Homo-oligomer: A and B are copies of this chain.
Amino acid sequence: MTSERDKLGLIGFGAFGRLTARHLSPWFDILAHDPAAMPGVGGGEGVATLTDLATAAACSTVVLAVPVEALEATLIAIRPHLSPEALVIDVGSVKVKPAQAMDALLPPGVRIVGTHPLFGPQSGKDGIAGLRIAVCEVRGAKDAHRVAAFCRRALRLKVFQVSPEDHDREAATVQGLTHLIARVLMAMEPLPTRMTTASFDRLMQAVDMVRHDSPAVFRAIERDNPFAAEVRERFFALADQARGTAGEG
């Protein structure tokens, strides 16, 4: 590769990794690694070059697009290959645990920013401009601001700079409720598609946006968000109340 553009290492080339590569490839040469993809045999879909872990991890910027549950193992695997002042960015659906893990496991000189793009392959399929991303400072305030500015200006995202705790508290409700409701509605399928109302159509659109999320995304939202259990219990308590009063007056 003879480009003089910055190289970006992308660890994880699943559905979200590919979406990331597609939107970052105008600005970076992307060297992607995924254990499930063979290096050097194509498969980068024109937006990334597939390579080995060491090469991807040695880039000046490294984006971790792996399931939250695989983050620790990934950090341990890339650690020996990181350049001394690398910028490492994760994209997990929760932020408290990943921020702690990255801070605990990455060498002192490495800069760390947590992000949570509030969209996925489904909601981002017609473009991501105007969609939302949370950016959390983990190690290096300047780096968090730089990443936020890039997301705002280059990617045209709506950026929320928040602490990992504030993120997880809000995401527990937003994502926790969406996935809980989607899970129950999917279990009720087949559902009517004929005499539907506009509000029912909206519900089903919400379900369709998360129906293809990987089980790992569901698990991250339900297990790895410290506020998830609380939201879930509140939903069920209120559902029980509705159950008790439905059919009365």
**Interface residues of A, Cβ cutoff 8 Å to B:** 118-119, 123, 131-132, 134, 160, 162, 167, 170-171, 173-175, 177-178, 180-185, 187-188, 191-192, 194-200, 202-203, 205-207, 209-210, 219, 222-223, 228-229, 232, 234-236, 238-239, 241-243, 246-247, 249
A118-B196 in contact (CB<8A): yes
Cross-interface CB contact of A195 among B132, B182, B184, cutoff 8 Å: B132
A223 and B239 contact, CB distance less than 8 A = no
CB distance from A160 to the nearest CB of B (A): 5
Are B241 and A239 in touch, CB under 8 angstroms?
Answer: no
B199 x A182 contact (CB < 8 A): yes
Q: Which residue on chain B has the smallest CB distance to residue A249?
A: B219
Contact of A174 among B173, B182, B195, B207 (CB under 8 A): B195
In the bound complex, CA of A180 to CA of B240 (Å): 11
Interface of chain A, main secondary structure = helix
Partner of A246, one of B131, B170, B180, B210: B180
Please state the number of chain copies in the assembly: 2
- Most B CB contacts (10 A, CB to CB) among A174, A182, A229, A235 go to A174
Question: Nearest-CB distance from A161 to chain B (Å)?
Answer: 11
- A192: which B residues are within 8 A, CB to CB? 170, 173-174
* Nearest CB of B to A207, in Å: 8
A and B contact pairs by CB, cutoff 8 A, 21 listed: A118-B195, A118-B198, A160-B194, A160-B195, A167-B195, A173-B192, A174-B196, A177-B185, A178-B203, A180-B246, A181-B181, A184-B235, A184-B238, A187-B241, A187-B242, A188-B235, A197-B209, A199-B205, A202-B203, A206-B206, A232-B247
